[in-house]
């Protein structure tokens, strides 16, 4: 069956002398593996189009029980020319694609997740600063779509409202899906220490609808590092087998 759909290329791997195997997250068929024959040849005009971080229109031959589908046509839908302008932007875009590739295992259609992916990469492409914030917001929204939204307003143990005031003791409680107040944390029911500043940033990210707006939030390097660590530990706790991202090494150097 010949199908047409839009997709974002998450990963590309050279195959044999002139071909590539593409991992693509599509709007209509979820994650797909596509064989792009001859695209690395001297006369091919698809070498650049079939690389990672491209938003493309696809035509391919799809067979239900076949793991590797055969690509017929690939056209650029939207150029993200600024994704490689800075190390931070490139790292953020790669981290978004890498995380999605690790989290999504099947071919189930999920238009909301596809739209989140595209809007997140749009935000990174348009960001003049703080591109990493788009990745953090992508993680927050991804947790929502996966059904693991953390509770950031009430203590996961006693239900007390978390004021998030400076100097207040808080603890990240990943197992119970949120944050513990100081009293519960001191009594041994909490997890790792969480600063009121990080709680405030996470709450703000849960409220933001415009991903580009997240890139206008200025965070100190220690706070950015804490927010990134909190999100990763929370994600790893709730998504089975999620390994560390290769992009994390780049973020560590930047932060």
Can you read off the two tokens belonging to residue 226?
């804490």
Of 45, 79, 113, the one marking the end of a domain is 79
Same domain, 73 and 87: no
CB within 8 Å of 236: residues ≥ 6 apart? 242
Q: 59 with 89, same domain?
A: no
pTM: 0.91
How does pLDDT run along the chain (255 residues), one tens digit per residue?
899 999 999 999 998 888 899 999 999 999 999 999 888 876 777 778 899 999 999 999 988 888 899 999 999 998 898 998 888 899 999 999 999 999 998 788 999 999 999 999 999 999 988 999 999 999 999 999 999 999 999 998 889 888 766 667 788 888 888 998 888 877 765 577 889 999 999 999 999 989 999 999 999 999 999 999 999 889 988 888 788 888 776 666 665
Domain termination residue (choose one: 58, 79, 100): 79
Is 20 exposed, middle or buried (CB count within 10 Å of its CB: 0-12, 13-18, 19+)? buried
Query: Do 231 and 112 fall within a single domain?
Result: yes
Euclidean distance between CA atoms 132 and 218, whole angstroms: 11
**102 close to 58: Cβ distance less than 8 angstroms:** no
- 122 shares a domain with 63: no
Same domain, 53 and 100: no
> Strand order of the sheet with strand 170-173?
151-155, 178-181, 170-173, 192-194
Q: What is the CATH number of the domain that holds 189?
A: 1.20.1440.120
| Of the residues 62, 79, 96, the one at which a domain ends | 79
Do 47 and 160 sit in the same domain of this protein? no
Same domain, 102 and 54: no
User: What's the CATH number where 43 sits?
Assistant: 2.40.50.140
98 and 35 together in one domain: no
Are the C-beta atoms of 170 and 196 separated by less than 8 Å?
A: yes
User: Facing residues of 151 across strands?
Assistant: 178
Determine the structural domain holding residue 18 and report its residue range. 1-79
CA–CA distance, 251 with 71 (Å, rounded to integer): 34
Encoded tokens for 46: 């698809």
Specify the number of domains making up the chain.
Answer: 2
Q: Are residues 55 and 91 in the same domain?
A: no
Is 133 found in the same domain as 49?
A: no
Burial of 246 (0-12, 13-18, 19+ CB in 10 A): exposed
Token pair, residue 137, equals: 């917001």
Same domain, 111 and 69: no
Question: Both 87 and 71 in a single domain?
Answer: no
């Amino acid at each position: 069956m010949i199908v047409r759909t839009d997709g974002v290329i998450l990963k590309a791997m050279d195959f044999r002398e002139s071909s590539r195997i593409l991992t693509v997250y599509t709007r209509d068929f979820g994650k797909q593996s596509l064989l792009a024959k001859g695209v690395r040849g001297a006369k091919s005009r698809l070498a650049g189009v079939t690389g990672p971080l491209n938003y493309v229109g696809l035509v391919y031959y799809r067979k239900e029980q076949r793991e590797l589908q055969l690509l017929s046509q690939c056209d650029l839908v939207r150029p993200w020319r600024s994704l490689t302008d800075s190390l931070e932007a490139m790292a953020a875009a790669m981290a978004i694609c890498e995380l999605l590739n690790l989290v999504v295992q099947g071919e189930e259609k999920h238009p909301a997740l596809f739209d989140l992916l595209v809007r997140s990469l749009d935000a990174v492409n348009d960001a003049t600063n703080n591109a990493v914030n788009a990745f953090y917001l992508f993680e927050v929204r991804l947790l929502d779509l996966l059904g693991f939204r953390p509770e950031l307003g009430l203590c996961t143990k006693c239900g007390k409202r978390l004021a998030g005031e400076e100097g207040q003791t808080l603890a990240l409680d990943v197992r119970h899906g949120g944050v513990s107040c100081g009293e519960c944390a001191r009594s041994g029911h909490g997890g790792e220490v969480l600063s009121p500043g990080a709680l405030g940033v996470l709450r703000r990210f849960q409220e933001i609808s415009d991903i580009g707006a997240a890139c206008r939030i200025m965070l100190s390097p220690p706070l950015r590092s804490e927010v990134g660590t909190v999100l990763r530990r929370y994600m790893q706790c709730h998504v089975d087998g999620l390994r560390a991202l290769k992009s994390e090494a780049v973020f560590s150097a930047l932060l």
